[in-house]
A and B are shown apart, each in its own frame.
Chain A
Amino acid sequence: MSRASFSQRRNPAPTAIPTNRWPASLWNQNGLRWLVFAVVIGGFLILQSAWAEQRFPPPDFQSGHVLPTTTTPSARALVWQYVDVAVLMIALALASWFALKLRSRKAMIGLSLFSLAYFGFYREGCICAIGAPQNVALALFDSTYTLPATALAFFLLPLVTALFYGRSFCAGVCPHGAIQDLVLIKPVTVPRWLEQALGIVPYAFLGLGLLFAATGSGFLICRWDPFVPIFRLSGHLTILLTGAAFLVTALFVGRPYCRFLCPYGALLKLASQVSRWRVRITPDHCTQCKLCEKACPFGAIRAPAPPPPPATELRAERNRFLILLVLLPGLILLGGWAGSKFAMAAAGINPEVNLAERHLAAQAAESLPPLSKPDQQALARAQRTESELLPAALAVRRRLGFGGWILGGLFGGFLGARLMGFSLWVRRTDWEPDAGDCVACARCFRSCPQELLRLGLTPPELPHASPAPSGEPPPG
C-alpha cells in the first residue's frame, strides 16, 4: 500500500522497471539512512577509496544486545611440531634397525604403512624433508626469513642418518617413497643407460629448487610435488594428474619419483655413498647366485667386477678420462652459462620480477586510459612505486643470473665427474647394493640363499647351496 504510493510519487510507470522500485518501507522508516547511503556512494565516486572505515556509527542498542565475538581458531599447537620431530627420529631409528640389523622386509612394510598414514595422510605431506632444503637455502640468503626449527630438523636428521646408516629415510619414513613402494606390483627393469641418464635429473631439480628458494622466488619443489595433493585429496588439477601418472608408473617402475626426480633423494644419495654402515645382502658370504639382482626392483644391485687388467691394457679408459679432464672446465663453463640463461629466462617466477614485467608490458602497450586493465593496476594494488620496484626486480634478476652461473657450473662439473667415473675401475668381489642407489627397502635379503640358511629356512630351489663359489669365479 505504502509502497505503491511511493512508487507513484517517484515513478509514474511503476511496473516498467521493477529493479528501480525502491521499497517504500525503507524510505518511510529509514529515510535518513538511505539518504546517507546515497551521499556515501556519491562521495565514494569522487574520493575513490580515500574514505576509510566507520561511515556508519556503530549502534547503541536499546535492547542490551551483546555483540558476538569474532572467532579465531588457533593454529596447530607448537607441541605437535615437536611430536613430528620425535616421530621422525623414532621412525629413522626403526628404519635403520629394520634394514641393517633385523633385515626384515615385513617390518619395513609396517613402518612404511605407518609413515604413509602419519606423514602422508595425517600430516598431509607438510612438514616434509623433501622441501626443507629450500627453507634452509632461503634462510641462508634472506636475513628477514625466520626458519622454523622443525624445518631445520627435518632437513638435517635424514641426512645425518644417511651419513651413518644409508637411506633409511627413503626406506620406510618418507611418505612419498612409501606410497610408491607399496603400490609396486610388477617391476620392470629400466635399462642401465636410461637409469644413468635419468638419474641426473634430481640434481638439476635440486639446483633449480635451491636457486629459486634462495632468491625468494618461491618453493618450486613444494609447488610441483606430485604426491602432496594425493595426501590431501585436493589440489590443482595438473599436479593431481601428475601425481596419478607417477602412481600408475610406480605400479611397474619402482619408485619413479625417488629415482628420477626427488631432489632430497639426490642429497641422500650423495650422503649414503660415504655412509659408515650400509645394507649387506648376504649375512656371511656371497655364492654369486644372482638371485638378489632379480629381487631388487630399483636396479640398485651391482654385479661383481674383476680386478683391473694391467695398466698398459687400459689405454682407451685412460685416454677417455684425460679427454674428459681437459674438457671439464669447458663443461663447467657451459653449465654455468646455460644455468644463468635459464634462470634469467625463468625469472618471471619471482613475484617481484613478475610485477615489474607486467608493469613494463602495460607501459609498452600504451594508448589505453590509465587504470583500465588489471595489469596496469598491479603496481597500485601492491602499493609499490615504479622507482622502488624496478631496481629491486633488476637486483633479483642479477642474483638469479649469478646463482644460475654458480649452480649451473656445479652441475656441469658434476656431470663431468659422473662421466669420468665411467672410466674408473671399481673392483667388486660380490653382488652388492650400490651405495647411493640402494634405498634399503630390505627386499633382497630373503632372496639370498645364505640368508635363508641363516634363518633356518632351506631355499626351495637351492637345497644344497654350496658355501664355496663355484659358478663364476672372478677372473684374475
Chain B
Amino acid sequence: MKPEHNTPPAVTRRDFLRAGLRGAAIAGLGGVAGLVAGRSTAEHLVWQLDPQQCTRCGLCATSCVLEQSAVKCVHTYAMCGYCELCTGYFEPDPIDLNTGAENQVCPTGAIIRKFVEDPYYEYTIDETLCIGCAKCVDGCQRFGNGSLYLQVRHDRCVNCNDCAIARVCPADAFRRVPASQPYLLKQTH
C-alpha cells in the first residue's frame, strides 16, 4: 500500500537533530534564566518621578500614552504656607484675588481654594480635572514653599515597559521604584 520509503526508521536523523537542538535550547534558556534570576525581584517596579529633579517643563501632561496623563499634581499640606495670594493658584498679575478663571494659573480649574481662617486659604487638587501640566507647580516652586509637585498616580498609571514620559523628561526625573513604596513625596524638614 505504501511505498517503502514511507516506513520511517525508529529514530530518524531529523528527529535526532531536533531532540538535540531542543535540549540545547532548554539548556540555553535555563542558562539565561539562571543568569538573570539573581537580578530579578519578586516585587514589581513602578514608575515615579523625583520632585527634586523635576523642572516643571510640562511634558508630563502631553507625553503620557493615556489620554489624560497619569501624572498629577499632589500637595504636601504640612509644607504649605496657606497663602492668601498663592502663586500656585493665581496668575502673576491677578485682576482680583478670587476664583475667577482669568486669575487662575490652572488651565482646568483643578485647584480648589477654600477659606480656612484669616488670612489663610487651603488649596486642594481636584484630580479628575488635573492634567499634570505643572503650571501651579512652577508658581509654587518659584515663589512659594514648593508644596505643590507632580507625582505619577498609580491608580491611573498603566506601568508601560517603556514609559513615554521618562523617555522625553529633560531632567531624567523618572525612575522605577518598588511597588510597595510607589511615591516620592516631599517631606517637611
Contacts and interface: CB of A to CB of B under 8 A. Distances in A.
Interface of A: 18-20, 23, 25-26, 29-30, 33-34, 37, 40-41, 44, 52-59, 61-63, 65, 67-76, 78, 81, 124, 126, 131, 134-136, 139-140, 143, 145-152, 156, 159-160, 163, 218-220, 222-223, 229, 232, 234-236, 270-271, 273-276, 307, 351, 374, 377-378, 381-383, 427, 429, 468, 473-474, 476
B129 interface: no
A63 B160 contact: no
A381 B153 contact: no
B78 interface: yes
A72 B183 contact: yes
Given A274-B25, A351-B167, A429-B6, A67 B40 contact: no
A431 to B, nearest CB: 14
Contacts of B78: 58, 67
A65 B116 contact: yes
Interface string B51-88: 00101010000000111000000111111111111010
B80 A58 contact: yes
A74 B39 contact: no
B20 to A, nearest CB: 8
B25 A271 contact: yes
A157 to B, nearest CB: 11
A53 B79 contact: yes
A44 B142 contact: yes
A382 B172 contact: yes
A461 B1 CA distance: 25
Contact of A159 (B19, B29, B159): B29
Contact of A382 (B157, B170, B179): B170
B119 A78 contact: no
Nearest to A220: B162
B158 interface: yes
Nearest to B119: A30
Nearest to B54: A381
25 contacts: A18-B95, A23-B97, A25-B97, A26-B84, A33-B119, A58-B78, A68-B122, A70-B77, A74-B179, A75-B154, A76-B179, A81-B44, A126-B161, A134-B161, A135-B161, A136-B36, A139-B40, A147-B40, A148-B41, A163-B25, A223-B164, A271-B25, A275-B22, A307-B5, A474-B3
B32 A140 contact: yes
B21 A70 contact: no
A474 B32 CA distance: 44
Contacts of A81: 44
Given A72-B183, A139-B39, A148-B45, A468 B5 contact: no
Nearest to A20: B93
Nearest to A43: B143
A41 B81 CA distance: 16
A81 B84 CA distance: 46
Contacts of A378: 170
B81 A58 contact: yes
Contacts of B39: 139, 143, 145-147
Contacts of A382: 170-172
Nearest to B93: A19
Nearest to B127: A71
B131 to A, nearest CB: 14
B132 interface: no
B126 interface: no
Scoring A44, A53, A150 by chain B CB atoms within 10 A of each residue's CB, the highest score goes to A53
B127 to A, nearest CB: 8
Contacts of B161: 126, 131, 134-135, 219, 222
Given A146-B45, A152-B33, A220-B162, 10 more contacts: A18-B95, A56-B81, A58-B79, A75-B159, A147-B39, A160-B26, A222-B160, A234-B67, A274-B25, A378-B170
B97 A26 contact: yes
A232 B65 contact: yes
A149 B117 CA distance: 52
A143 B38 CA distance: 10
A139 B34 CA distance: 11
A63 B116 contact: yes
A351 B164 CA distance: 12
Contacts of B42: 78, 149
B76 A222 contact: no
Nearest to A136: B36
B188 to A, nearest CB: 8
A75 B179 contact: yes
B5 to A, nearest CB: 6
Interface in B85-115: 85, 87, 93, 95-97
